[in-house]
Structure 1
Amino acid sequence: MSSEFETLPGAVGSPPQHYGNPLGEQKRLAAGEAVVDLSDRAVITLSGPDRLTWLDSLTSQSVKGMRPGDSGETLQLDVNGRLEYAIRLVEDGETAWLLVDADQAEGLVSWLTKMRFMLRVEIADRTADYATIGSLGSAPFDSAGLEAAAPNGVPLVWNDPWADVVAGGHQYANVAEHPGAEWRYTERLIDRSALAAASALPAAGTLALEALRVAAWRPRFATEVDEKSIPHELDWLRSAVHLTKGCYRGQETVAKVHNLGHPPRRLVMLHLDGSDGVLPAAGDSVVVAGLDDPIGVVTTSALHYELGPVALAVIKRSTEHDAKLDVLSDGIRIAAAQEVIVPRDAGAEANVPRLPRLGAVRR
C-alpha cells in the first residue's frame, strides 16, 4: 500500500528506507524531531464487551484490566510456546486496536475469528482506513497540529512498554542500565486521508528506526523470530508476558523454561568490525572466531550513528559470554564482539530443592 512519503525527494524503498541521508535521519529521529512512515503495517480492531477478557485468555499478557488510553504488548503462542504473532495493543474504552506487521494480519484475523465462539466480540481489518506513523516523541506532530485518530474520543497512540519491565514480567538481561530504558518509541494511528499532511513532517526512513531499535535491544517479530522462537530467547518476558496470570496456549512452556529450564538460544548484540565496509544481512551465519560451524544467525544489522555497525543475532545458549565471534557474509568474515542480552543462565528461576537419590546414604 503506497503512501505520500514515497514521493518525497530522495525516497528509496516502499515504505522509504531512507531519503538520502540515513545517519542524519537517524540523529533527528533519536532527538524526537522526525517521523517514520509505517503505513504498510496492519490495523485490526476488536469490539464488543468481551474483547479484553477474551484476548487475555488467548495471549501471554494480562490485558483484561486495560483502561481507555492504555498501551500494551502481547504474544500469541502455539501449544509448544513458540511465537506465532506479536501484537501491539491500544485500548480506547470501546475498541481494542491491534497493530501488527502486514504479513501477519490475514492469519491473525483468521485465527481470532476461529477462536471467537459465542463471545461478544467483533473482529475487523481496518488497515485501509488507518495508517501507522512511528516516532520517538510527539514534537513533530505537536508543531504541525497533526493529531492522532480518535474515533471513540481517545487518541490512538501506542506507547512501547519496552522502556520498563512491565508488571508480571521478567528481565533476563543482567545490566545496571538497560539501553531500552531510554527507548520512548510510539506509534500513532492517523486517518489515511491525513497521510499527505504527515508527509510534510520531517521524515526519517525505516533504516533509522531499525538502527535505534537494535541499540535498544528491542526484538521485533518480523526480524528476530523464526519457527522455533520462544519469548525467553529474546528477553521478551520483559514487556509482553505476564508470568502469574491465568492459562493461555503455550503457558506451560513459558512457565517450565522460566522456572526449571533454560532457553535453547539467546539474543545478543554484535559490535561489528567495519573495516571491510560490509554490513551483514539477516540470515548470515554467526560462528566462533576462526571456525566455520554456525552457532547462530544475524537477525537485524544496522549502521548506528554512534555505535557504528551493529547487529542483533540469535545464538546457541552454550556459547561462552566472552567468546570471540565472526559473521560470515557474502564470502567475507566479519569480526564481531558480543554484548550479552540474554545470558547463558537465563531461566531456572524457581528455587527447587534437590531430592536425594533413592538408596543414597545421608551423612
Structure 2
Amino acid sequence: MARLRHVRRDPPRVVSVSVVVVPSPILVVPGAVAGVPGSPDAAVAWHYGDPFGEQRAAVQRVAIIDRSHRFVLSITGADRLTWLHTISSQHIANLGDRKSAENLDLDLNGRVLHHFVLTDLDGTLWIDTEADRGPALLEFLKKMVFWADAKPEEATDYAVLSLLGPQVAALTETLGLTEPLPGTYDAVPLPGGGFLRRMPWPTADSFDLLMPRDQLADLWTRLTTAGAEPAGMWTFEALRVAALRPRVGLDTDERTIPHEAHWIGEISENGAVHLNKGCYRGQETVARVHNLGKPPRRLVLLHLDGSADNRPEIGDDVIAGGRAVGRIGTIIDHYELGPIALALVKRTIPADTALTAGPSAAAIDPDSIPADDAPQAGRLAVDRLRGR
C-alpha cells in the first residue's frame, strides 16, 4: 500500500442533517473499509484495499458498488406522475412504464434542494436520493399531495447497488434476466422484485439495481462469484467527479441553481430540468436565467497539485489573485487523473487562471467549461423589440 502514500483515503465528512446510520451488511466482506464516521458514506464500504484497482475494474471490466445507504421511497396512485410533474423540474407527466429520469426539487428562488432519480414500474414510482436529504424530500412530497391520488412513503425495505463496466452483460443470467440490457434511463424488472436501470453516468456502462433489502447480501455474493469485482464508494465518487456530475450538499451550496451544475436538459439530454414544461416551484428563476441572463457560477473540474502535504476541504474558497472566486466540492483521487475536485467558480474566470484551493495549487480542466457564449432567445427577442 506504499504507492497510496499521498492518496486521500477518507470520504467527505459533510452531512446536511442528522440521520441514523445503519451499517450495510456488505461491510462484513473481507477487505471492506467503511467510510469514516460522520461522512455521507459512513454506512457503506469506501474501498476494499485497492482503490485504484477498483476504479480500473469499473472502467475496464465490471465492478459492483454498495450504495445501499441511498434513501428509497415509493409513490403509488393513479396521479403519481402528473402530480410529481407539477412540483418538480423534469417533464415526467407521460413517463412510460419501465422508464426513468433525473429530477430536481427547487425552492421558490430556483435554488437546488434535492436531486433524485426516479423509475416507474408496474404502477409504482420509485425514487432514490441522498440518505441525509431523503427524509426532507419525503416530508415535502407528503405536504404537497392535497387532493391528488398519490401516496409517497419511505421504502426502507429496498436498497441500491450499482454495476459499472463493459462486462455487465455477462451477469444477466446471474440476475435472472431473460431480455437484453436496458437502454439509458430504461429499466427491466428483476425476478425477485425491483429492477435493473441503466444510467448515463458515472461511466458509459452504468447500471443501478434497486432490490428488496433482504436480498442484498445474497445478490452481492452471487454477482461477485459470477465475476463482478467489489469496489467502494471511492470508485463511484472518483468516476462521478471525472464525469462532472455534482452531488447535492457536497458540490452545491445554498445558492446553487440548476444552470450552474449541468442539470439543464430533457431526459433525452441526460438532464434534470425541462425548459418547456408547466409551472413548478422555482421555474421563474430557471426561465429567467435561460432566456435573459447567464448563471453567476459554473461547475468545473479542477486538477490539484498532488505534491501538496494537505488537501483542501469541501467548502474551501477557490482563490485567484488573492480573492475568492469559487467554492470547492468533492475532492478525490482518480486512478488516471490523480487528485481532482469539483468546484463552483465564477463564470468569468478563464480556464488558464492560476488558482489555489486551500493549501493546494489548482488548475481548471478546460474541457470542463461549457460553451455558454451564445445569446439567449429572450435577449434576442428584447433586442428585436428595441430595433437592435
TM range (shorter): 0.7 to 0.9
Q: Which 5+ residue runs of structure 1 have no aligned equivalent?
A: 163-179
- Higher mean C-alpha displacement, 92-101 vs 9-18: 9-18
Cα distance between partner residues in 1 of 2:385 and 2:153: 56
**Residue 341 of structure 2 corresponds to residue 285 of structure 1:** no
Displacement of 1:146 in angstroms is 6.1
Q: How many residues align?
A: 335
The one-character-per-residue Cα deviations of 1:57-86 (angstroms, maximum 9, x if unpaired) are 111100111111111011111111111111
Contact 1:101/1:222 (8 A) holds in 2: no
Matched, 1:159 2:191: no
1:220-244 Cα offsets, whole Å, 9 max, x none, are 2242221111000011103101111
Q: 1:74 to 1:94 in 2, by over 3 A?
A: same
Q: 1:237-316, aligned counterparts within 5 Å?
A: 237-238=264-265, 239-276=271-308, 278-288=310-320, 291-316=321-346
Q: 2:30 is matched with which residue? A: 9
Measure the CA separation in 2 of the matches of 1:311 and 1:140.
33
1:184 maps to 205
Q: Say whether the 8 Å CA contact 1:73–1:161 is kept in structure 2.
A: no
> Does 2:266 match 1:236?
no
Q: Are the structure 2 counterparts of residues 146 and 209 from structure 1 closer, same or farther at C-alpha, using a change threshold of 3 Å? A: farther
Task: Provide the C-alpha distance between the structure 2 equivalents of 1:243 and 1:301, rounded to a whole number of angstroms.
Answer: 31
Identity percentage over the alignment?
41
One of 95, 112, 117 as aligned partner of 1:83? 112
Question: What amino acid is aligned across from residue 33 of structure 2 in structure 1?
Answer: V
In 2, Cα distance between equivalents of 1:318 and 1:195: 47
Assess, with a 3 A threshold, how the Cα gap between structure 1 residues 101 and 347 changes in structure 2: closer, same or farther.
farther
Cross-structure match for 1:175: none
TM-score by length of 2: 0.79
Which residue does the alignment assign to 1:166?
none
Q: Does 1:133 align with 2:165?
A: no
Counterpart selection for 1:59 from 77, 88, 92: 88
Match of 1:116 in 2: 145
Using the alignment, how far apart are the partners of 1:321 and 1:4 within structure 2?
44
Q: Deviations over 1:125-184 (max 9, x none)?
A: 002x1110012253474364467994899852333245xxxxxxxxxxxxxxxxx7x533
Structure-2 change in CA distance of 1:106 and 1:155 (3 Å): closer
Contact kept? 2:318, 2:325, Cα under 8 Å: yes
The one-letter code matched in structure 2 to 1:54 is W
Q: Secondary structure at the match of 2:33?
A: coil
Measured at CA, do residues 82 and 337 of structure 1 come closer, stay the same or move farther in structure 2, by a change above 3 Å?
closer
Q: Provide closer, same or farther for how the CA distance between residues 152 and 136 of structure 1 changes in structure 2, counting only shifts above 3 A.
A: closer
Return the offset for 1:336.
2.6
TM norm structure 1:
0.84
Q: Which runs of 5+ in 2 are unaligned?
A: 1-21, 35-42, 178-186, 266-270
Deviation of the 1:5 alpha carbon: 1.5
